[in-house]
Amino acid sequence: MKPNWNEMTAKNFKPSEDMLSAAAAVFTTMAYVRTVRPIVEEYQKKILEAYELWSTETERRSRKRITDPKETFLLSEDDFNFYLAECHEAQLEAELKTESPDPCAHFALALFC
């Protein structure tokens, strides 16, 4: 039976089991993100500080050293692949599990962050 949204008020609202389950999943994910974000950001910054990783030069942008994890999309292909491998190693050392061995799973962690 569909709820009649026109008659719904705070007093007579009764969440379904699906709604409760979805809300629990959202709050669990939010807690996970708050736990994981500082770990991921720390090892991303350490990697960028430890190695000289550079952006690709384009007509609009000269080559520059990348020091901010939010700018890693600018890395040259070789540097990006190196960065991914280093992040994967750091992820394993930090014991952060992902559902896939794909190096892009690291960015799934970062996306939530």
Tokens of 1: 């039976």
Q: What is the pLDDT of residues 39-95, one digit of tens each?
A: 989 999 999 999 999 998 887 888 899 999 999 999 999 999 999 899 989 988 999
- At residue 65, φ and ψ (nearest 5 deg) are -75, 135
The CA distance from 109 to 8, in Å, is 38
pTM of the model: 0.69
In angstroms, how far is CA 94 from the centroid of its own chain? 15
Tokens representing 88 are 């994967």
Alpha carbon distance 68, 46 (integer Å): 10
* Cα 113 from chain centre: 5
